[in-house]
Chains A and B, each alone.
Chain A
């Protein structure tokens, strides 16, 4: 679990790990691979749920998943993708264009797209953002599903209690630097987002 105030570098860290951006300097290793030299090999095993939806407004929910499935070399037939849409409670809107979707529905579809990748490392950037309470429970369920698959999950969130219940380890970022690291369960009690309230020795 990655926490920090707005602008602390949570999304940037996740985008670096996903190889969406390159670091200005330093090294970056993901799953033992040099992510700067071999971004394509890293991308095979990493999936990112970003702030941007990565969706095409002109296409339907099903077509958006079909586009991703074809590039991944997966079965892109309707029957193969409808269960995934059902996981995010969008099966009844499968043929509707994404342009008609609310922000929460787009987030659900983006989650389905992320799950489709079946990656070893799943990066979730504010997965609860824009979702309603049933959506929160859906994310919790999908989180458990991914953990059950053996995936490593890195989640950036402001919902400390929820994150602490799901995650094992937590880090606090402040101005792009690691400020604290430890058990995620300690974060809500420590005040979480305020670096001043965290014990420096835990770094």
Chain B
């Protein structure tokens, strides 16, 4: 547990020092939402109906920027190797990174919501429940994203490789997150949102447990 606290404390410090990157990622996500709104045109009904999908696509595309840089500081002077030789637990290092990415993506998702409301004239009847769904979806993206970021970091074409590997894996998370967001925003007459949220919890549990186990093999080999 102390190793996990050490890993989280390290990540928070590193994230704080690179906070300028957060603004760049948010700008990218905001630009994506703006482009989606242009692509549909001034049809508010269509925009409103597609708003949940656009929100999650914006978040997914922005997440690749955040995730692909996850191991930049670790590889610059082989700091990750230095930590493993201390020896630091690979699981603690993984969960520290994944939690840090989770926080970033949740904040990014929450930051994009007001923009979505303005651009798509989307209703927001249950903002806190929506924040919960964003957190669950962000958890589903950050766990496998962190693992794949570790696998692809040393590849020359990591910016391309990461989305190629990550996107197919997170399709179920994306579908569940879009559906739950859509039900929260546009109405849930059958009370289905709880079931979709539960599905997200299941995907999160699977990703967070399996990726944590695999990370040790990825960084040691």
Contact = CB atoms under 8 A, between A and B. Distances in A.
29 contacts: A19-B85, A39-B87, A39-B220, A40-B87, A43-B84, A50-B78, A50-B81, A54-B77, A54-B81, A54-B83, A55-B77, A55-B82, A56-B10, A56-B73, A56-B76, A57-B76, A58-B73, A59-B14, A63-B13, A67-B6, A67-B13, A70-B2, A70-B5, A70-B6, A71-B3, A71-B83, A72-B86, A73-B2, A97-B17
Nearest to A59: B13
B78 A52 contact: yes
Given A55-B82, A56-B73, A67-B83, 14 more contacts: A20-B81, A39-B220, A43-B85, A46-B85, A50-B81, A52-B78, A53-B77, A58-B18, A59-B17, A67-B6, A67-B9, A70-B6, A71-B88, A72-B86
Contacts of B9: 67, 70
Contact of A71 (B18, B77, B86, B220): B86
B212 to A, nearest CB: 17
Interface residues of A, number: 29
B86 to A, nearest CB: 5
A124 interface: no
B79 interface: yes
Contacts of B14: 56, 58-59
Interface of A: 18-20, 39-40, 43-44, 46-48, 50, 52-59, 63, 67-68, 70-73, 97, 113, 117
